Structure 1
Amino acid sequence: MSRIDETKDFLPVRIAVLTVSDTRGLSEDRSGDILVHRLLAAGHELADRRILPDERADIAAQLRAWCKDSGVDVVISTGGTGLTGRDVTVEAHRDVYEKEIDAFGTVFTIVSMQKIGTSAVQSRATGGVANGTYLFALPGSPGACKDAWDEILAKQLDFRHRPCNFVEILPRLDEHQRRK
């Protein structure tokens, strides 16, 4: 079963947080605050934090910029994963992905089902990889951000987590670009 291997050192990763909202500013961004608090409490570094409106091209451009930034290992966005017409974060993420982490959405749904029952079907949480960077799109609710961090990301972004984790393969995510 999953566990922390205390014989290994913790390796912090550099995480950028993006809140997607047409209405929230930094002072009202409870979901972004939760993610920042949790990633810092875990020992990771906040690489950057932004708030953007629900505009697909702008979201994708910011994701691409962070994927090109050697100071960013992981991007976590919150908001815009629902079913309404303005919810375009998932599409923006998929515009950027080289590979989708299909099981991320599945595991998030399982976690959500335990908390909110069948309402979990309304989330389109997703994860993927681009240019050696992990990208995760979470719903905009504080509860969803807590659940995603506490039940999935805190473990997978901890190098000591066994039997495997995202951090141990981070150096190999862009190996195809280094081949001759």
Structure 2
Amino acid sequence: MSDRSERHFVPVRIAVLTVSDTRTFADDRSGDLLCDRIAKAGHLLADRAILRDEKAQIVAKLRDWIRDPGIDAVISTGGTGLTGRDVTVEAHEAVYEKAIPAFGTLFTMVSFGKIGTSAIQSRACAGVAGGTYLFALPGSPGACKDGWDEILAPQLDYRHPPCNFVEIMPRLEEHRRRK
């Protein structure tokens, strides 16, 4: 393998999903924040949507994006809390082929440093399905900023040592090629 300093940036095609019963594109600060950071990092915004907190709708959108060869990753914001309408985690888990449990753990660690024990109320999660990464962040702009800046930005950068999500993307579907 080549020296990391010789690696070139690889743009990732990312879809952003805001889950909210009240947000629109006019006031979706968390979705806007993620889209801005995606663009500033040099990645491509592949699609964007806002859906109500309805599990079946979220599952259908995730499955559509998983099937889309033009999307490498999905970041959702909202619906990760504990209230009765918070169903994003359940929707994500319904489509995962493999969960990435350390994502939620790491997000909690980052959050704890910012908001203390209130971090316990987040159910941020991640997984992989159909060769697509799926990340669920809380709905607050602060949580999206922390999730992107502290976890996703480095992990979605091919140059990030010692390892990152981008370098294993080509291998996410290798089990389907086995004989």
Instruction: Please indicate the TM-score interval, normalised by the length of the shorter structure.
Output: over 0.9
Q: Which amino acid aligns with 2:69?
A: S
Structure 2 Cα separation of the partners of residues 79 and 47 of structure 1? 19
2:162 aligned residue: 163
1:104-139: CA deviations, max 9, x gaps? 000000000000000000000000000000000000
Pairwise CA distance, 1:6 = 3.2
TM-score, structure 2 as length reference: 0.97
Number of the residue aligned with 1:74: 73
In structure 1, distance between residues paired with 2:69 and 2:136: 20
Q: What is the distance in 1 between the residues matched to 2:64 and 2:111?
A: 30
Runs of 4+ with deviation above 6 angstroms? none
Query: Partner of 1:176 in structure 2?
Result: 175
SS at match of 1:26: coil
Could you tell me how far apart the structure 2 residues matched to 1:41 and 1:27 are? 21
Measure, in 2, the Cα distance between the counterparts of 1:105 and 1:141: 16
Instruction: Name the SS of the counterpart of 1:28 in structure 2.
Output: coil
Number of aligned residues:
176
What is the alpha-carbon distance in structure 1 between the residues aligned to residue 131 and residue 169 of structure 2? 7
Q: In the aligned structure 1, how far is the partner of 2:33 from the partner of 2:47?
A: 15
Amino acid in the other structure paired with 2:102: A
Deviation at 1:7?
Answer: 1.9
| Alignment pair present for 1:86 and 2:90 | no
Cα distance, 1:73 vs structure 2: 0.1
Separation in structure 2 between the aligned mates of residue 91 and residue 178 of structure 1, nearest angstrom: 29
Amino acid at match of 2:127: G
Kindly state the Cα deviation for residue 178 of structure 1 after the two structures are TM-superposed: 1.9
Report the Cα distance in structure 2 between the residues aligned to 1:78 and 1:179, rounded to whole angstroms: 35
2:138 corresponding residue in structure 1: 139
Query: Which residue pairs with 2:9 in the alignment?
Result: 10
Distance 1:56 1:173 in 2: 26
TM-score scaled by length of structure 1: 0.97
Q: 2: distance between equivalents of 1:89 and 1:139?
A: 9
- 1:30-109 matches, cutoff 5 A: 30-109=29-108
Specify the SS of the correspondent of 2:5: coil
What residue ranges of structure 2 are gaps of 5+ in the alignment? none
Q: What CA distance in whole angstroms lies between the structure 1 residues aligned with 2:26 and 2:109?
A: 31
Cα RMSD of the aligned pairs, angstroms, is 0.6
The letter of the residue matching 1:33 is D
Identity of aligned residues (%): 73
Tell me how far 1:155 sits from its aligned partner: 0.2
